[in-house]
Chains A and B, each alone.
Chain A
Amino acid sequence: MSAAKRIKVTIDGIEVSVPEGTSIWDAARQAGIDIPVLCHSPRLRPVGVCRMCVVDIGQRVMAASCVRLCEDGMKVDASSPKVQKHRKMLTQLLLSDYPEKSQRELKTGDDQLLALARRFGIERIPFADGAATGGRGSDSSSPVIDVDHQACILCDKCLRGCNELQHNDVITRTGKGYTARIAFDLNAPMGDSTCVSCGECMAVCPTGALTNKPVAPVGAGRRGANR
């Protein structure tokens, strides 16, 4: 296989040389620049839906760096106040619908949306509380995973994890617009679906939407304990 042609891009003033076909996000990582993401992971096909990774490439609108490919001579601004402002606004939008307690933060301390809130120093959310009125519901029918739809940011990672990594083909988005949500099979409770409990969806989820149930205390007293 012949090597791809190499091109040069400049990101925040740092010049990097990358093979043609490299995304701006990957090139930035090579340059030591960490562009924040929620819907992207190097393990998954990039989809550019959270828009957190937008960068300024001097065009009419910003580009999502996880899906946008480098072009020779491109100049990328990944960290200016202008770019940061949009990332902050996106974070505030998502936080406005976020439940008060994140299952992920409570159980494993690695909620990525809250991490971004801290990274951007967000002090206020100027939007109405979308989590206050009833909420989008939860689903604890699975033997291993707790689903909190209110914490779901529709990042599509669970879909890609389930359908493209594990090929179990269970998860979809259903509905449309603001009321879109994830669903299992024909919108069945997770525990009633063809889910095989591989846990990939939980593993890739960045928020408290999909978390592990606590390890159940195993059958104490069931069929006699060995003392």
Chain B
Amino acid sequence: MKAFRLDDTKSASATAALKQVDSLCPYCGVGCALTFSVDEASNRIVDVKGRDGAANAERLCVKGRYGFDYAMHPQRLTQPLIRKPGSYPKGPLSAISKSGGGARKPGGSFDYDEVLPHFREASWDEALDLAAGRLKEIRDARGGDALAGFGSAKGSNEEAYLFQKLVRAAFGTNNVDHCTRLCHASSVAALLEGIGSGAVTNVVRDIERADVAIVTGCNPTDNHPVAATFMKDAAGQGTKLIVINPRRPQIADFAAMYLQPNPGSDVALYNGMMQVMIAEDLIDRDFIARRVDGFDELREIVSHYSPERVAKLTGLPAQDIVDAARLFGRAKAAMIFWGMGISQHTFGTDNARCLIALAMITGNVGRPGTGLHPLRGQNNVQGASDAGLIPMVYPDYQSVKDPKIQTKFEKYWGVKLSPKIGLTVTEIMGAALAGSVKGMYMMGENPFLSDPDINKVRKALSALEFLVVQDIFLTETAEFADVVLPASSFMEKAGTYTNTDRRVQIGRPALTPPGAARQDWELICEISNRMGYPMKYASVEAVFDEFAACTEEYKTLNYEHLGSYGKWYPCFDPKTSPGERIVFGDAFPCGKAKLVPAQISAPNESPDRDYPFVLNTGRVLSHWHTGSMTRRSHALDTIEPEAFVEMHPDDAAALRLRDGDWARVASRRGEIQLRVRVRDRVSPGAVFIPMHFREAAANVLTNPAIDPIGKIPTFKFCAVRVTRLES
């Protein structure tokens, strides 16, 4: 008989003393709801559980469930830092990658010991006075346009709102932007142009009501993992996925059709599909007549994209193009998801225009299981854009050029504002190099790793007269700072965040900031006050109320209504309604949709004899963007500690490269060294490098050429050469 004592079974487990805090995941745009278990005594998060949020239904991915420990990392900034006088002129303080051939050990986030000695600790007053003072000097001497601000798509709506208000009201310029510029700027440009709104029309989980879903230019299993689980649910229930991507994503295993077109040939593919649909009358004539302008011109343009011509341009069999068109065209309800593979090109806006046209001519908008869904990457990129962290528009996409709008905000904020459209992230770097932008304030952004052509970025950052960096870790960008302000991590603040579904949810603090680190929103107010524009709020909730009141979409919401689970916007009756899952059932914000046909165009830099490969850059499941958070998370760093370049077996064999060998990858911008992974998911002639690893940064290689309308760089396409590194 087994010995058993009932009383012994209840252990005095550590859990008894833990506090449960309902909050959100800080990482991607799915916006999973979760609960932190917190040991208040030691200020540590111990555990994460999934919560039944509308977007995730208790599901989480490795980052949300295990990637929270970065907030407790000893490298957290705890004191304001001021650059020592001897560390001028500014230049990079750490090597991107240590030179000298041979095998390199994986880098990891950079060495504090190389950078910290160039800074001294300071009190808050000294740091804030210096920061605000120098920015004010530059503004007064050279005008507001000599200043610029980068806000954060990871920060809350309240922070984003205050930041753009600071730049506009205190700096006196519209030079404010954030990383959406690098992500969905072209998609948003096309959507604003086409239907008057950049937000998604249907939520992700609406795919369960779709007969067909196009999943193009994205890899949701890695980058929106929980969203991908719902796509796979739908596929299991009969939804037919058409997956399109030059690099085969894992979700293609669940697809009815997988197309692997030549990189950069998307316009041809979609025009080809539309040509077939129009020719076979698989379009919704009634919808076109009632709700769409520009069909005739579109029809004329796409008529020149026969399946045979498109087959040549895309490298796909003509029959596949016809089959895909028929599958989509015959569906009663079809939905389109897309990601960076569509947007991050010099013709990203054109790509998105094609997708919009595809949905419009088949009447696939405004009904269950239909719609346009650009998968938003950051947890609050939607909110940051909504809050006006954009050089062309105020909160809620109200144009800075419109005198009526300008007056409205001048009244609202009690200050004169600039009517001049500001510079985008990519343009600001150029302006810094050229000397027209002299001072910058960056909050929660690391353009060093996230911008293209980072050698050029380093030069630009060095050229700035004054740079204030506000962050939770010393980033590569902070190497160029004059003042570094230690800020609050996601787990230490209260705020609202808007996910890819247009769902506004509240994140709540589970930890207290370490050392002397402070709340981002309060620091923005401090700078503003010291620059002469008073900002004072009783609470972060008050900031939300002010922001919401000047928008159409948020104005019905408040913290009480949002509660623990949030609401979709628009939400017409927050007391009884969860918000609108689906929008534009009757009309678009601009009335009728405007079709803008696109023509295939050549990439800015194509492969040639010297640089024969196409470089595709992107992300991996266990890391987030510039790695400042995830490379400081034990689990995530353990899972994927180092950079790699993915090559097709045929290409690897031709270069005598095997899995695990070291290679040198070079472009006209620079070169890096990293290990090879031989995989047949990339097509021959193309390679893939993830963006996360500073010691082998993909963006050393990338091309800063931008899309003319979206101003987004062509991260997904440039030319490189690969050579074996002899050890």
Contact = CB atoms under 8 A, between A and B. Distances in A.
B584 to A, nearest CB: 24
Interface string A113-124: 010011001111
Given A223-B110, A226-B76, A108 B2 contact: no
A123 B8 CA distance: 11
Interface stretch (A10-18, A26-34, A72-80, A191-199): A191-199
A129 interface: yes
Contact of A215 (B78, B225, B232, B634): B634
Interface string B319-358: 0000000000000000000000000000000000000000
A21 interface: no
Contacts of A226: 74-78, 112, 116, 474
Contact of A118 (B9, B76, B111, B229): B9
Contacts, number: 150
Given A218-B74, A219-B632, A127 B1 contact: yes
Given A124-B1, A143-B638, A167 B109 contact: no
B2 A109 contact: no
A199 B62 contact: yes
Given A109-B13, A226-B78, A198 B65 contact: yes
A122 B6 contact: yes
Given A222-B108, A226-B116, 5 more contacts: A95-B4, A109-B15, A114-B10, A167-B236, A219-B75
Interface of A: 43, 95-96, 101-102, 105-111, 114, 117-118, 121-130, 143-144, 165-167, 196-200, 203, 212, 215-216, 218-227
18 contacts: A43-B58, A95-B2, A105-B10, A106-B11, A107-B15, A107-B47, A114-B10, A121-B6, A123-B4, A167-B236, A197-B66, A203-B58, A212-B47, A218-B69, A219-B74, A223-B113, A224-B113, A226-B112
B2 A129 contact: yes
Most buried by A among B50, B74, B622: B74
Contact of A128 (B2, B6, B45, B633): B2
Interface string B77-120: 11000000000000000000000000000001111110010000
A198 B225 contact: yes
B62 A197 contact: yes
Contacts of A122: 4, 6
A171 B11 CA distance: 30
Interface in B622-638: 622, 632-635, 638
A165 B228 CA distance: 10
B2 A127 contact: yes
A107 B11 CA distance: 9
A194 to B, nearest CB: 10
Contacts of A124: 1, 4
B639 interface: yes
Q: Considering the complex of A and B, which 3 residue pairs feature the smallest CB-CB distances, nearest first?
A: A224-B112, A167-B232, A129-B2
Nearest to B44: A215
A114 B8 CA distance: 10
Interface string B225-260: 100110011001000000000000000001000000
B60 interface: yes
Contacts of B66: 143-144, 197, 199, 212
Contacts of B13: 105-109
A91 to B, nearest CB: 11
Nearest to B75: A226
Contacts of B634: 143, 215-216, 218-219
B49 interface: yes
A118 B10 CA distance: 9
Nearest to A101: B11
A126 B233 CA distance: 44
A210 to B, nearest CB: 13
A99 B93 CA distance: 54
B511 to A, nearest CB: 13
A114 B11 CA distance: 10
A223 B2 CA distance: 51
Interface in B538-556: none
B1 A126 contact: yes
A110 B638 CA distance: 28
A167 B113 contact: no
A125 B10 contact: no
Contacts of B621: 196
Contacts of B44: 215
Contacts of A197: 62, 65-66, 622, 635, 639
A111 B9 CA distance: 9
Contacts of A130: 2
A112 to B, nearest CB: 12
Nearest to B7: A118
B273 interface: no
Contact of A203 (B49, B111, B116, B622): B49
B416 interface: no
A127 B10 CA distance: 22
Contacts of A216: 69, 634-635
Contacts of B70: 218
A203 B57 CA distance: 13
A121 B635 CA distance: 40
Nearest to A199: B65
Nearest to A120: B6
A214 to B, nearest CB: 8
Contacts of B75: 219, 223-226
A127 B44 CA distance: 42
Contacts of B73: 218-219
B322 to A, nearest CB: 30
B15 A167 contact: no
Nearest to A225: B74
B59 interface: yes
B72 interface: yes
A53 to B, nearest CB: 21
B518 to A, nearest CB: 16
B46 interface: yes
Contacts of A165: 59, 229
A155 B677 CA distance: 38
Nearest to B68: A215
B3 interface: yes
Contacts of A219: 73-75, 632, 634
